[in-house]
């Protein structure tokens, strides 16, 4: 048995869409699955003002990363102050994740590869090459790349590499 465990795990507060969101995210990412769910019993339902028997939490895994989604009611809402980064190797990956996660969401409201999905969760769809382009030690190159990034909503790897050249 492995002693390895994930020390830090994102916990996402939804009004009542935890199960729908977890199922959707699992459909978007490879190597993903629903792990378990819990339901409000009559006592916890009263305290949380939720229907008894309704889904309380959903534990799920996205590409090996553990998450928990909670149906906690309308007390809190997601903001772009916290986002989930999807590192992509190719433009095809950028396009695939951008298209899937922005469907029904608000990609046009963000820039620099950020979008809000239909549940209000913020995501950054980023090419792995971006960090290298920005930290090469060439200040002029980094400035050109950052200027290009700031002008984009969905990041375009070819345009970023052209800006670097």
- pLDDT 10s per residue in the chain (165 long)? 556 678 899 999 999 999 999 999 999 999 999 999 999 998 888 888 888 889 999 999 999 999 999 999 999 999 989 999 999 999 999 999 999 999 988 766 678 889 999 999 999 999 999 999 899 888 998 999 999 999 999 999 999 999 989
pLDDT at site 109: 64
Do the strands 33-39 and 55-62 form a parallel or antiparallel pair, or are they unpaired?
Answer: antiparallel
Give, in order, the Cα–Cα distances in Å from 3 to each of 9, 10, 20.
17, 20, 32
pLDDT at site 50: 87
What residues contact 141, with CB distance under 8 A and at least 6 apart? 133, 164
What residues contact 33, with CB distance under 8 A and at least 6 apart? 26, 60, 61
123: β partners: 84, 115
pLDDT at site 47: 82
What residues contact 2, with CB distance under 8 A and at least 6 apart? none
CATH class of segment(s) 83-164 = alpha beta
| Residue ranges matching CATH 3.10.180.10 in the chain | 83-164
Both tokens of 101, joined, read 């996660």
CA angle 57-63-67, nearest 5°?
A: 20
pLDDT at site 108: 63
Length of the chain: 165
CA-CA-CA-CA dihedral for 54, 11, 123, 27, to nearest 10: -50
pLDDT at site 138: 86
**pTM for the complete prediction?**
0.89
3-state secondary structure of 95: helix
Separation of alpha carbons 132 and 92, rounded Å: 19
**How many other CB atoms are there within 10 angstroms of residue 158's CB atom?**
8
CATH 3.65.10.10 holds for 11-71: no
| Residue ranges matching CATH 3.30.720.100 in the chain | 11-71
pLDDT at site 60: 97
pLDDT at site 1: 52
């Amino acid at each position: 048995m492995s002693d390895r465990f994930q020390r830090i795990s994102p916990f996402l507060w939804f009004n009542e869409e935890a199960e729908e969101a977890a199922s959707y995210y699992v459909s978007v990412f490879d190597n993903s699955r629903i792990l378990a769910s819990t339901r409000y019993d009559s006592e916890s339902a009263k305290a949380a003002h939720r229907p008894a028997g309704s889904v309380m939490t959903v534990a799920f895994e996205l590409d090996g990363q553990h998450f928990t989604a909670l149906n906690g009611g309308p007390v809190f809402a997601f903001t772009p102050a916290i986002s989930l980064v999807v590192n992509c190797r190719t433009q095809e990956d950028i396009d695939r994740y951008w298209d899937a996660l922005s469907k029904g969401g608000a990609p046009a409201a963000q820039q620099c590869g950020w979008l809000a999905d239909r549940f209000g969760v913020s995501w950054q769809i980023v090419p792995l090459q971006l960090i290298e382009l920005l930290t090469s030690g060439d200040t002029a190159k980094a400035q050109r790349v950052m200027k290009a990034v700031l002008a984009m909503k969905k990041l375009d790897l070819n345009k970023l590499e052209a800006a670097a050249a």
